[in-house]
């Protein structure tokens, strides 16, 4: 079975990443899984943005955890350094808005960024993200993912019914297996340079699904096919979906 193509921050090669425009475009090209990143504003709102600052992708400056929702939403999220003013009307979306757009149309992988993980276990990013997912009725449509094992363990405790996935970068095979087991997950998400026959075999033996990131070239996807991947995250989901369909 070919891997699922995961729209990384939406159709982010063609629309400003992590915006409603990017996720709408991902749906248009046929993505059935979308990945997004969440941070927490100073006043406790879960917003969809990758960086801990707004500097790279908006027309403003500042740290998201130190800004109110109103301050974040006053900015254009049109990624002006890449798209000029073509998407100037885009705003940093609330998680609730993205879940509403994708409802019934796409599964969602929500990455909780390490920058917003704090000592507040009951009212921090994890708890508020889980509350938003439950409020949207999307419990069965969402997987909570992170590099931060503390965050994932909290998710296991706060929402054992929700799927989880452990992201890894420059980790050994044993760490991948142990970390994925510790959070009670069946999904391991190593970066593509970590992939090996040994890792693929060990994950298969352990009953783990293996997904990776970020793959934008169909030729590279073909090479990685030998690892029996469950999913591949891409900034160009349409190109990969088209290549898989042509090769079917």
**Residues annotated as catalytic (active site), given as ranges:** 8, 50
**Which of 143, 146, 128 has the alpha carbon at shortest distance from 6?**
143
Sign of CA dihedral 189, 214, 141, 68: positive
Give the CA angle between residues 93, 94, 99 to the nearest 5°: 100
Of 4, 236, 18, nearest to 111 by C-alpha is 18
Count the alpha carbons within 13 Å of 165 in the hemisphere toward its beta carbon. 23
Residue 82 structure tokens:
């890449």
Give the span between the Cα atoms of 146 and 156, in whole angstroms.
12
> CA 85, CA 89: separation in Å to the nearest integer?
8
- CA-to-CA distance for 83 and 108, rounded, in angstroms? 25
Give dist(CA 49, CA 40) in Å, integer: 9
Distances (CA, A) of 189 to 11, 111, 197: 20, 11, 15
- Token duo for residue 200: 């693929």
- The count of other CB atoms within 10 Å of the CB of residue 43 is 11
């Amino acid at each position: 079975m070919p891997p699922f193509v995961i729209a990384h921050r939406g159709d982010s090669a063609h629309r400003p990443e992590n915006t409603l425009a990017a996720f709408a475009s991902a749906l248009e090209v046929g993505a059935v899984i979308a990945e997004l990143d969440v941070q927490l504003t100073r006043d406790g709102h879960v917003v969809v943005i990758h960086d801990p600052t707004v500097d790279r992708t908006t027309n403003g400056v500042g740290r998201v955890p130190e800004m109110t929702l109103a301050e974040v939403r006053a900015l254009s999220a049109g990624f002006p350094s890449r798209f000029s003013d073509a998407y100037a009307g885009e705003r940093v979306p609330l998680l609730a808005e993205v879940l509403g757009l994708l409802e019934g149309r796409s599964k969602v992988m929500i990455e909780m960024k390490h920058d917003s993980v704090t000592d507040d276990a009951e009212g921090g990013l994890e708890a508020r993200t889980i509350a938003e997912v439950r409020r949207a009725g999307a419990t069965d449509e969402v997987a909570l993912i992170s590099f931060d094992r503390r965050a994932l363990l909290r998710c296991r405790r706060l929402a054992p019914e929700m799927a989880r996935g452990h992201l890894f970068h420059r980790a050994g095979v044993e760490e991948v297996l142990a970390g994925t087991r510790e959070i009670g997950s069946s999904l391991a998400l190593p970066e593509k340079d970590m992939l090996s026959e040994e890792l693929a075999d060990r994950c298969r033996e352990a009953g783990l699904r293996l997904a990776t990131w970020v793959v934008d070239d169909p030729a590279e996807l073909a090479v990685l096919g030998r690892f029996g991947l469950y999913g591949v995250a891409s900034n160009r989901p349409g190109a990969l979906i088209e290549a898989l369909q042509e090769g079917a």
